[in-house]
Amino acid sequence: MLAATPAAVGKGEAKVREYSTPSVPRQRDDSLTDALVRHADERPDAPLLARRTPDAPPEAPWDEVDAADLADEVRRAAAGLLAAGVEPGDRVALLSRTRWEWMVLDLAVWWVGGVSVPVFESAPERHVAAVVRAARPDVVVVERPEQATLVAAARPDDAREDGSVVAGWTPRHVWSIDGDGEADHGVLDLLGTLGAEVDPQALEERRTSVGPDDPATIVFGSGSRPRGVVLTHGHLATDAALVAHELGPDLLGPQAATLVILPLAHVPARVVQVACLQQGALVGHAAGTNRLWPAMRSFRPTFLLGVPRVFETLFNSASQRAAAAGRGRVFDRGAETAIAYSRSLDPLAPVGRRGARIGGRVGGTSVRARRRVMERMVYADLREEMGGRLAWGMSGGAPLGDRLGHFFRGIGIPVLEGYGLSETTGTITLNSPDAHKVGTVGRPLPGSAVRVADDGELLFRGPTVFEGYWGDPGATREVLRADGWLHSGDLGEVDDEGFVRVTGRTQEIIVTAGGKQVAPTALEDRLRAHPLVSQALVVGDGRPFVGALVTLDRDALAIWAEQHGLRGSPRDLAGHPDVVAAVQEAVDDVNAAVSQAESIRHVRVLPDDWSEERGQLTPSLKLRRNVVVRQFRDEIAALYL
């Protein structure tokens, strides 16, 4: 049961200002390696890891590693760290794509009481330098030998803008996962050799000396001046256990399998990995979304964690393939039916064009009948393309959007949205299979609470909220107040059942010249729902109206252009009147759902997509608004000429 305290009344309806969820009993581990040891003792033959090389072809098989063998691999790596002089509290930086070796290294670092410092592999050099200068790791593990130069660039004394100097630093070891060639087979082989003579009893004593209050990781954000969030073994173990509790044993249990595709420098990816280890679920790894479909077909996950862009990619790719096969209209009808059917499942279903509720007797019968037809024509094949076993999705990092949420639920793969920050160990609210409201990020995890401040900011409190930034007590006091409430920087609301809806960022709200407050992210989410649209930036702060910059999805554009008899490069097609008209249709759809003051008056289609390499997107594919605004100030100004 949930408890609400208290309700504030405004404009004739009750608005919940604070909501808390009672605690629940759970498995308590002293450290993050306890679950692995427990499975190795009790279920030694149970598969916990499926692996292959990151660059393996799509048809390559997956090799399963059981609990006993995985524990042995982690012990060997941990013994090597111990032999190399890694002490409790020493920091070990990991700079790599998502791959199975990261999981082994993370566990090995935790085994000896070390603190892992994840670094986004795709981050620009200046960000890597900022992280290693702040963390000053004792050991650095990179994926490829050439990445060691990024670490070397951060070693010299560095003058700050305020005139102070950060003293030079040199890690004791810099190792590579891939190694330097035939003479060096990689860090795991190296650690196995180094630790060959380590006393097993001494290694186990080191492991059991680690407790829930010991730091496990320092996670740095993707900003220009990243702050290091210190998370303990207790934070990660607790969040993983609570997520597993909310999802339930049918979704996350020994029979489950998931493909980790997000960067492991992203906290939610590591939380889900820890949760799978706790519950005995099978984990596989795939780097990036460009080969997601073949990886899903071969691995056959039962659930998938992603950011909204992952689910947008799945939808758009399915739409493109259907169009290329001459089934575009059938797919479009299937998508419309799935969305209508999902909406009919909500307690207050929307009213249809003829005045009947879609979930009612007349509308309900019609949409259910259409769904049965589309199940045979579209949905069954689509689920088979995703491996045939995918039953649930999980999404976080940004709002998924009602359209995508209803589409996936309508085809039989509900996507459970959650919310969290690095400061809340990745997840602090979550929809569950038994309590799911599309368009919300769910209710607080057990033992946690949410409060809506007077200015609309969401505040959180609970067992997974961090205790401070690395070496920065001043920054800690800015967000974590003495009363224990964490100020998220996000705006939102809470309904009377405890479901949280995020409406924008406190620092990103647009105030037009007419005084209208507009949440740009909501409009951008709706724009990206159009298959042709890759990214969108909504602007208008201090301006007479709202405008937008839009980039195009190259793959979708190629198929769309062929269908419409157009030729040319993506840059040429971006300015074609037919393409601009298609994007305007997306804008019109967005405007139909908002007030006139919030509607997008002018839009400009850009010739090139935004990318992480150029600093316009974060590693989790979220828009770096300040960077894009700075780089495209002329294009923004042109919207108002």
The Cα 359–Cα 343 span in angstroms is 8
| For residues 295-306, average pLDDT | 93
Residue 309 or 311, more confident: 311
What digits encode the pLDDT tens for the residues 360-394? 333 445 899 999 999 999 999 999 999 999 999 99
| For residues 500-508, average pLDDT | 79
Residue 552, C-beta contacts closer than 8 angstroms, at least 6 positions apart: 532, 533, 534, 570, 573, 574, 579, 583, 605, 606, 609
- Across 181-190, 212-221, 288-297, least confident range: 181-190
Residue 462 or 633, more confident: 462
pLDDT of the residue at 514: 66
What digits encode the pLDDT tens for the residues 21-61? 999 887 777 899 999 999 999 999 999 999 998 778 877 88
Q: What percent of the chain has pLDDT over 70?
A: 89
| For residues 476-489, average pLDDT | 92
| For residues 465-473, average pLDDT | 94
pLDDT of the residue at 153: 65
* Cβ atoms of residues 327 and 559 within 8 Å: no
Helices (H) and strands (E) counted in the chain, each on its own, are: 22, 30
- Single out the residue of 77, 53, 76, 75 nearest to residue 284, CA to CA: 53
Which residue has tokens 């044993």?
A: 249
pLDDT of the residue at 214: 97
| For residues 88-96, average pLDDT | 96
518-546 as b/e: b if 16+ CB within 10 A: bbbbbbbbbbbbbbbbbbbbbbbeebebb
Which residue has tokens 């941990």?
A: 78
- Strand intervals (E) in 495-599: 500-505, 510-511, 517-518, 533-539, 546-552
Highest mean pLDDT pick, 118-122, 295-299, 308-312: 295-299
What digits encode the pLDDT tens for the residues 338-357? 999 999 988 654 433 333 33
pLDDT of the residue at 360: 38
Distances from the Cα of 294 to the Cα of 261, 291, 310, 561, angstroms: 13, 6, 14, 25
- Across 214-218, 495-499, 527-531, 577-581, least confident range: 527-531
pLDDT of the residue at 166: 52
Residue 607 has pLDDT above 50, yes or no: yes
Residue 549, C-beta contacts closer than 8 angstroms, at least 6 positions apart: 536, 537, 539, 603, 604, 606, 628, 632, 635, 636, 639
- Single out the residue of 449, 458, 453, 469 nearest to residue 505, CA to CA: 458
pLDDT of the residue at 16: 67
Which structure tokens are listed for 605? 């289609």
| For residues 141-163, average pLDDT | 70
Q: Torsions phi, psi of 258, nearest 5?
A: -135, 150
Residue 525 has pLDDT above 90, yes or no: no
535: phi > 0 → left, psi -120 to 50 → alpha, else beta; which? beta
Work out the pLDDT band at 67, boundaries 50, 70, 90.
very high
pLDDT of the residue at 356: 35
* Cβ atoms of residues 7 and 495 within 8 Å: no
- Single out the residue of 409, 390, 384, 380 nearest to residue 302, CA to CA: 390
Distances from the Cα of 118 to the Cα of 94, 105, 141, 154, 335, angstroms: 5, 11, 10, 16, 38
What the chain holds in terms of domains, given with CATH numbers, is 1-25+438-504 (2.30.38.10), 34-54+63-77+88-220+228-288 (3.40.50.12780), 510-638 (3.30.300.30)
